[in-house]
Amino acid sequence: FPCERWLAKSEDDGEIIRELVPSDIFTEKLMKDGTLKQIEEEVEDPLEVHTYKISVFTGDTYGAGTDANVFLNIYGDLGDTGERKLSKSETNFNKFERGQEDTFTIQAVDLGILYKIKIRHDNSMFSPDWFLEKVEILDETTEESFIFLCERWLSKKKEDKKIERTLYEQVRKARSLVPVKYETIVVTGFEKGAGTDANVFITIFGLNGDSGKRALKQKFRNLFERGKTNRFYLETLDMGELKKVRIEHDNSGLAPGWLVERVEI
């Protein structure tokens, strides 16, 4: 994995994280005379390292700027960057000020099509509250641009008091604005006491977002009994390729314990 670059805040581009791709593979083969022969092969179709230009737009509202440290993780269909600190703005000495655009450059192994980011701050310094308008990312290698709208506070004092946001790419999100009905099947196990009297909820997660926490209920039916299969139809925006589900109950009722055999969607 060749590098030949600095990992130093005072050298090169100031980055202390590098993603490396292999250039050669060395293997050893045992010969008939008992000696080991080293064989060198070039990696076929190695992954490319792409340069991503990140533009962060702070809102133009009172108190919008932040003095806190900001961190970003970019997700694509081929992987993610891992969390990176947005340290040095290329456009402003004092970054993340009200009504300001700050630009950063990071390099990472090709992420493919970008679909979401996670952005947060560490709530440090005297004025950590931050109103983030949007983030735009340009893949300089492919010249593709991706927009992630926020228009919310990252603050422990305002709005929902969260300092981390997950933002989805706008073009992909627009494609998902068609309502889809998901047939959801929940199978309760056969063991004694497997059924539950509690209220049950499910969240479905896909490449384009999630369904939000949804109650699984039907009128005049005793649900989630031992050995039974229950079927529900949940309508939500198209979430694309499904990644996971979260199934939970509120521990209410006389017998809340529940053995779930499987969930089908």
Closest residue by Cα to residue 133 from 54, 208, 61, 209: 61
Residue 3 lies in a domain: no
Same domain, 224 and 143: no
Same domain, 217 and 254: yes
Last residue of a domain, one of 168, 194, 209: 168
- For residue 115, which amino acid is it? Y
Instruction: Count other Cβ atoms within 10 Å, centred on residue 184.
Output: 20
Same domain, 75 and 158: yes
Last residue of a domain, one of 113, 138, 168: 168
DSSP 193: T
Same domain, 185 and 143: no
Angstrom distance (rounded) from CA 214 to CA 203: 6
Parent domain of 227: 179-264
150, 165 contact by CB (below 8 A):
yes
Closest residue by Cα to residue 104 from 172, 55, 145, 140: 55
Angstrom distance (rounded) from CA 148 to CA 82: 18
Mean per-residue pLDDT, 153-163: 92
Same domain, 153 and 257: no
Same domain, 161 and 239: no
pLDDT at 155: 95
pLDDT at 221: 78
Angstrom distance (rounded) from CA 149 to CA 50: 23
Q: What percent of the chain has pLDDT over 90?
A: 56
Looking at residue 156, which CATH number applies to its domain?
Answer: 2.60.60.20
Same domain, 164 and 183: no
Same domain, 155 and 189: no
50, 65 contact by CB (below 8 A):
no
pLDDT at 9: 82
Give me the residue label for tokens 């952005």.
119
- The pLDDT tens digits of the residues spanning 245-255 come to 999 999 999 99
- The pLDDT tens digits of the residues spanning 136-148 come to 999 998 888 999 9
Same domain, 183 and 164: no
Same domain, 229 and 135: no
Residue 61 lies in a domain: yes
Last residue of a domain, one of 168, 200, 226: 168
Angstrom distance (rounded) from CA 35 to CA 215: 67
Residue 62 lies in a domain: yes
Residue 117 lies in a domain: yes
- Number of domains present in the structure of the chain: 2
pLDDT at 175: 55
Residue 19 lies in a domain: no
Count Cα atoms within 13 angstroms, Cβ side, for 68. Answer: 22
Residue 138 lies in a domain: yes
Residue 254 lies in a domain: yes
Residue 206 lies in a domain: yes
